[in-house]
A and B are shown apart, each in its own frame.
Chain A
Amino acid sequence: MKITYPHMGHLYIVIRALLTNLGLDVVLPPATSRRTVELGVRHSPEFACFPFKLNMGNYLEAKEMGADTILMAGGVGPCRFGYYAQVQQQILKDLGIEMEMVVLEPPDVSFREVKDKIRYLIGDLSWWQVIKATRFAWCKARAIDTVEEKLLYLRPRVIEPHKLERYFREALQEIDTADNRRAVQQVVRSFLKKSEMMPQHSREPLRVGLVGEIFTVLEPFANYDLEKRLGLLGVDVTRSIWLSAWINEHLLGGLLRIRHECVHDKRLAAPYLNSFVGGHGKETVGCTVGFAQRDYDGVIQLAPLTCMPEIVAHSVFPAISKDYEIPLLTFYLDELSGEAGIQTRLEAFIDLIAAYSRNKEGVL
């Protein structure tokens, strides 16, 4: 069995660690590129959301590399993601591509089914080994988030952001290749040390919160490197969604305690949004309010075009913006987004919030 899975940001490192330690033969699709998009878009429904199309592209490229099994997650709605796998399977079948798809539905729906599927994948490996592999993958997930958080914090502050970026890439690669927990932690420590010693500007950067749908937030290709663009414009970006927090909440059932800035912000969604709306809609609204309360200069929302939960969240934005006097900007992303357009909109937004925040402080 040659197993593959779609990309979502740096998730591939975590999943690779997990699967190889379970003794599986992993075929990683090449990093998402223009070609991936073209392949995906050609065979996907026109109005499906962007992640769906990128997934398709990933599968087809993995197929070229010899993969025969796809590992995919499921869901119970109302977000469309929960039905991706079934439609994608049908599309692959119609293309005459024979790939088996193993879909892991959330454990709270049918624990037994998940167990059976994992058992099918791992053969006669013991559950103890599964736990060990999971712990190792988890360690990598935490490591990635730690270095990335540092990167986001330092990028607007250091004098040589490109050098920092290079350190980050190296660290990622080292985390990916590390084969024990000690080595992973070593990489993190040395990255933190190296990056903190870099010379910094003295100015305090603007602070912007990043909210939205998880795939577009975590996948730099889907959001056209938005975090990097903001960082290079001298903006400190705080993300509301972290890979490890998401894994903890959805795959480990909230077993572990993770702390990041927005972890309790979901509660703040009411009175603006009083109901769960699927996907990350409620988190988006809650975290936006959270950022506003913590006096951020602005909030940017990312969503794939036609994403239903995010449209609901975006719809209530005027009320939040008015109540907290905070500028909000939304990007809907799809295969047609032009980079120049995004850059221009970002620059305009940053100019605006800079003027706005000077105004609020009474400085002219």
Chain B
Amino acid sequence: MVKIGIPRALFYYYYYPLWRAFFNSLGLEVILSPQTNKAILDDGIKTTLSEACLPVKVFFGHAMAVAEQVDYLFVPRITRVEPKAYICPKFMGLPDMLRARLQNLPVLIDTVVDAGREGDSIQCWEDCFQEVGSIFTRDKQLVDSSIKAALQAQGQFKKRLNEGMLLPQALEDIDVAEVAAALQPHLTLKIGLIGHPYNLYDPYISMNLIKKLYTLGVSVVTPESLTDNEIEDKSNKLPKRLFWTLGKRMIGSALNFYQNRRLDGLIYLTSFGCGPEALVEEMVARWAKQRDDLPLMMLTIDEHTGEAGMLTRLEAFTEMIKRRHKV
């Protein structure tokens, strides 16, 4: 059976159900790289520029981890998944960076995903899959039905997220017992988490942030629990439309969280060297300063982060919130 490799990084966290359903329905075997570990991160660091951001380094590690077991590596060139907003230059150049820096790669499937100026978030994937499908089969009907299955799986995934399931749960294949616990209602504090899924839900990269919060008696609300419309509505209030899809998600969720009366605080997790974030987090932080009822903590992670330092900051933050409540 032909094997397709998917690195467990970056857009895996957004689109894995879509990809998996498509390839499975085409009759191909999907192989996922293992959970991030030290070896993967080290491989990534060794093969990328030191200036690249942490998520890209992690992606390289995952690509290497899965490369040897597969015939094809699925690294779509994701330019725009909605009209007039880009992902990030690094996503657009990802296949080129992989080719230039890694030897002995399997065949890369680097089909362009571009909604252009007029397209939409579904049509751009349909176009991409038509092209990908033609690599493996000449049966147009099979490709069409696979696309349908894929979109259905993605819809299911979105629905689950909106129902309040945490992302790793909704992706289905991760051990979620500990994460599920974080949603328990008996916890005393409720904190809104802002951050990209590929940082938040990679337990190695975020150093188990969600679990750590849980042990501190904190339950979390994540951007994924908001619908696309809620995010779009809020981010449209900006003086100028943001041209980064992911940045828009961050701004939109921050603004939604600001309005959520039941939250006790916000934590913004960013990775060192993230370009759009440099401006987006500045805006979010400045808005937070204008109001005094919702504390915000910025956590920046990189490959050197010490776990103890992070824990100390989380403890201090939650302690501070508790004291505010007492006053």
Which A residues are within 8 Å of any B CB, using their own CB? Answer: 45-49, 74, 76-80, 82-87, 89-91, 94, 103, 272-279, 281, 305-309, 311-320, 332
Contacts and interface: CB of A to CB of B under 8 A. Distances in A.
B222 interface: no
B196 to A, nearest CB: 15
13 contacts: A48-B278, A49-B278, A76-B243, A80-B278, A80-B279, A86-B239, A87-B279, A87-B282, A94-B289, A272-B96, A277-B93, A309-B89, A315-B49
B52 A315 contact: yes
A319 B112 CA distance: 22
A79 B89 contact: yes
Contact of B86 (A77, A272, A320): A77
Contacts of B96: 272-275, 312, 315-316
A278 B286 contact: no
Interface in B5-56: 48-49, 51-52
Most buried by A among B93, B99, B100: B93
A86 B97 contact: no
A356 to B, nearest CB: 21
Interface of B: 48-49, 51-52, 77, 79, 84-90, 92-93, 95-97, 99-101, 110, 112, 238-240, 242-244, 272-279, 281-283, 286, 289
Most buried by B among A82, A89, A311: A311
Contacts of A309: 89
A318 B98 CA distance: 11
Contacts of B87: 78
Most buried by A among B100, B101, B276, B282: B100
Contacts of B77: 274-275
Contacts of B244: 77-78
Contacts of A315: 48-49, 52, 93, 96-97, 100-101
Contacts of A91: 282, 286
A279 B90 CA distance: 12
Given A83-B243, A281-B93, A311-B49, A45 B100 contact: no
Contacts of A277: 89-90, 92-93
Contacts of A89: 239
- Mostly, the B contact residues are mixed
Given A47-B277, A80-B278, A90-B286, A314 B88 contact: no
Contacts of B278: 45-49, 80, 306
Contacts of A80: 275-276, 278-279
Nearest to A281: B89
A80 B240 CA distance: 13
A18 B249 CA distance: 40
A275 B243 contact: no
Nearest to B87: A78
Contact of B100 (A49, A86, A272): A272
B100 A47 contact: no
A35 B292 CA distance: 33
A254 B281 CA distance: 36
A277 B94 CA distance: 10
A313 B100 CA distance: 10
A278 B52 contact: no
Given A76-B84, A315-B100, A94 B93 contact: no
A362 B311 CA distance: 61
Among all A-B residue pairs, the 4 with the closest Cβ atoms = A77-B243, A312-B93, A78-B86, A47-B278
Contact of B89 (A86, A87, A278, A320): A278
Given A275-B93, A278-B89, A281-B93, 4 more contacts: A48-B278, A48-B279, A86-B283, A90-B282
A311 B100 contact: no
A32 to B, nearest CB: 21
Contact of B92 (A94, A103, A312): A312
Nearest to A83: B279
Contact of B243 (A82, A84, A311, A320): A82
Given A275-B92, A281-B93, A86 B240 contact: yes
Contacts of B240: 74, 83, 85-86, 103
A278 B243 CA distance: 12
Contacts of B279: 45, 48, 80, 83-84, 87
A308 B243 contact: no
B97 A312 contact: yes
Contacts of A272: 96, 100
Nearest to A332: B51
A79 B88 CA distance: 8
A334 to B, nearest CB: 11
Contacts of A281: 89, 93
